[in-house]
């Protein structure tokens, strides 16, 4: 375990000065922080400060280590590069300053969905969020409304449970005979209809942003309902399977819990119109139960 | 093992600057809804004064309407009701799946319209009252 918790930037003092002062014209730092520039220029050698740095404040918590059980924020000064993402910054901080900094990440290209963080008060995907777009200092916290295991790692079990509740897999017993090499075709129109809903990467940002899901642990949540939408709207599934899916969704803690705050739609890193899908399933559920003919 | 401790709620009002349009619409809709329910009870209480006779009712109404605070509250009541109606229409559109991409704009529109109507009603409600 690292012993430099308080001042993790100390060994790198040449790269990361006390004041995260920039000289470049495209500096992402606030106007406020630029004011201290004159003093800094006199005290530090010009040549060694070619690159800019960004200040990130990272949430730290480790229940297993004495003295780290109290949640706190650690500051890291990370040299800025063009195109740098939040994930790049925390990876740099981990590799350079403190190897005990813990977070999930894998593909780094917004496909695996493992690095959703609470960045500057909003759920964002670390690998898809540009440092240059954020105001500094950048606050990086674990996803709210989920229990923290360590640092930026949250317990996703509940999220996965809800995802599995809606049976997130294709169901059709009458598959065409494989010997004929026949395929299960989907019409172009139907593919377009479910296209956005198939983009979900199970990152949990929507569930974390949802006010209702926070207060009602049984609520399926936007991601699970979107998953159900993806299959319920797929016309290759027979009608009785769709009815079965709607029966799950129309329960008390299903689609009707949504109060259209649009929080999930706003944070979804894959731009899925979650609220629209939930609303459409509400209408489907009503149509299923209101049949006068 | 994961261990829980209180990190506070993200919908805590201390974070109100970070709330989005949809969140504000939800908060205002809840708030105005409760205000209207509260008004309903006072409304029934005032109307029930008619049970004791026409004079009692007239006296109650005249007594209340002579109060400056009541006139101000009436403007507030109108604003609350108008916002609830307009946002209700917005939610109806959302339920029907119409214009979900413009939901923030329709919220701002209902806020502005509420403001205009409330201001326009001031001369009517404040007519002939002295502080």
What string of DSSP letters covers A253-288? TTGGG-----HHHHH-TT---HHHHHHHHHHHHHHH
- Candidates B2, B20, B25; nearest CB to A155: B2
pLDDT digits (tens, 9 = 90+) for A259-287: 999 999 999 999 999 999 999 999 999 98
Nearest to A4 by CA among A103, A101, A76, A98: A98
Which of A69-83, A253-267, B116-130 has the least mean pLDDT? B116-130
Chain B residues near residue A149 by CB distance under 8 angstroms = 2
Q: Is the pLDDT of residue A248 over 80?
A: yes
Q: Which helix (H) or strand (E) holds A53?
A: strand A52-60
What is the distance, to the nearest Å, from the Cα of residue B30 to the centroid of all Cα atoms in its chain? Answer: 9
What is the distance, to the nearest Å, from the Cα of residue A76 to the centroid of all Cα atoms in its chain? Answer: 21
Q: Is the pLDDT of residue A114 over 70?
A: yes
Per-residue pLDDT at A92? 95
In CATH terms, the superfamily for domain A157-171+188-289 is: Alpha-helical ferredoxin (1.10.1060.10)
Nearest to A198 by CA among A104, A273, A262, A278: A273
> For residue A46, what are the CA distances in angstroms to A17, A32, A38, A251?
12, 21, 12, 65
Chain A residues near residue B103 by CB distance under 8 angstroms = 260, 262, 275
Percent of chain A with pLDDT over 90: 63
Q: Could B104 and A262 be called an inter-chain contact, meaning their C-beta atoms sit closer than 8 Å? A: yes
Chain A residues near residue B108 by CB distance under 8 angstroms = none
What is the distance, to the nearest Å, from the Cα of residue A16 to the centroid of all Cα atoms in its chain? Answer: 28
Name the residue ranges covered by the structural domains of chain A.
51-146, 157-171+188-289
Chain B residues near residue A211 by CB distance under 8 angstroms = 11, 23, 26
Residues from B in contact with A at Cβ < 8 Å: 1-5, 7, 9-11, 15, 18, 20-23, 25-26, 91, 94-97, 100, 103-104
Per-residue pLDDT at B1? 38
Q: Is the pLDDT of residue A4 over 80?
A: no
Mean pLDDT along residues A166-187: 85
Q: For the domain made up of A51-146, give the CATH fold.
A: Ubiquitin-like (UB roll) (3.10.20)
Q: Is the pLDDT of residue A9 over 60?
A: no
The pTM of this model reads 0.80
Spatial separation of the C-alpha atoms in residues A145 and A128, rounded to whole Å: 22
Length of chain B: 131
Mean pLDDT along residues B64-82: 93
The angle formed by the CA atoms of residues A144, A146 and A152, to the nearest 5 degrees, is 70
Chain B residues near residue A140 by CB distance under 8 angstroms = none
Mean pLDDT along residues A134-153: 91
- Candidates B3, B22, B95; nearest CB to A63: B3
Per-residue pLDDT at B8? 58
Per-residue pLDDT at B131? 60
Give chain A's mean pLDDT: 83
Chain B residues near residue A229 by CB distance under 8 angstroms = none
Q: Could B2 and A214 be called an inter-chain contact, meaning their C-beta atoms sit closer than 8 Å? A: no
Q: Is the pLDDT of residue A111 over 60?
A: yes
What confidence tier does A289 reach under pLDDT thresholds 50, 70, 90? confident
Interface test with A, best of B3, B9, B10 (most A CBs within 10 A): B10
CB A203 within 8 A of CB A177: no
Task: List residues bridging with A141 in a β-sheet.
Answer: A118
- ipTM attached to this prediction: 0.83
Q: Is the pLDDT of residue A198 over 50?
A: yes
Q: Could B97 and A283 be called an inter-chain contact, meaning their C-beta atoms sit closer than 8 Å? A: yes
pLDDT digits (tens, 9 = 90+) for B99-113: 888 999 999 999 999
Q: Is the pLDDT of residue B5 over 70?
A: no
Interface test with B, best of A134, A139, A233, A262 (most B CBs within 10 A): A262
Per-residue pLDDT at A200? 95
Mean pLDDT along residues A21-26: 42
């Amino acid at each position: 375990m690292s012993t430099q918790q308080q001042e993790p930037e100390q060994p790198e003092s040449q790269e990361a000065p006390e004041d995260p002062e920039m000289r470049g014209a495209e500096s992402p730092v606030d106007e406020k922080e630029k004011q201290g520039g004159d003093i800094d220029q006199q005290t530090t050698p010009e040549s060694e400060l070619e690159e800019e740095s960004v200040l990130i404040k990272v949430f730290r918590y480790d229940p297993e280590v004495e003295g780290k059980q109290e949640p706190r924020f650690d500051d890291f000064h990370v040299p800025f590069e063009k195109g740098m993402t939040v994930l790049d910054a925390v990876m740099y901080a981990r590799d350079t300053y403190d190897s005990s900094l813990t977070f999930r990440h894998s593909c780094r290209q917004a496909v695996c969905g493992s690095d959703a963080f609470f960045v500057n008060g909003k759920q964002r995907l670390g690998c898809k969020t540009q440092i240059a777009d954020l105001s500094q200092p950048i606050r990086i916290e674990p996803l709210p409304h989920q229990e923290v295991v360590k640092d930026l790692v949250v317990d996703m079990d509940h999220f996965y449970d809800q995802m599995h509740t809606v049976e997130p897999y294709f169901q059709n017993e009458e598959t065409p005979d494989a010997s004929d090499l026949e395929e299960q075709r989907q019409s172009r129109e139907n593919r377009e209809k479910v296209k956005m809903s198939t983009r979900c990467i199970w990152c949990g940002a929507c569930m974390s942003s949802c006010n209702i899901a926070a207060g009602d642990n049984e609520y399926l949540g936007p991601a699970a309902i979107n998953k159900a939408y993806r299959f319920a709207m797929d016309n290759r599934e027979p009608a009785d399977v769709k009815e079965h899916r709607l029966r799950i969704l129309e329960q008390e803690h299903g689609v009707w819990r949504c109060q259209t705050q649009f929080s999930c739609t706003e944070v979804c890193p894959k731009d899925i119109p979650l609220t629209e899908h939930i609303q459409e399933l509400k209408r489907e559920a009503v149509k299923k139960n209101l049949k006068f003919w | 093992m994961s261990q829980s401790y209180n990190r506070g709620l993200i919908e805590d009002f201390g974070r109100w600057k970070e709330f989005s349009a949809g969140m504000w619409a939800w908060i205002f809709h809840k708030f105005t809804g409760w205000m209207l329910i509260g008004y309903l009870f006072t409304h029934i209480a005032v109307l029930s004064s008619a049970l004791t006779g026409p004079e009692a009712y007239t006296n109650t109404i005249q007594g209340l309407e002579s109060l400056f605070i009541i006139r101000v509250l009436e403007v507030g009541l109108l604003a609350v009701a108008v916002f609830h109606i307009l946002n209700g229409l917005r939610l109806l559109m959302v339920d029907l799946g119409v214009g979900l991409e413009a939901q923030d704009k329709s919220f701002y529109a209902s806020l502005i319209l509420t403001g205009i109507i409330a201001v326009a009603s001031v001369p009517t409600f404040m007519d002939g009252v002295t502080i």
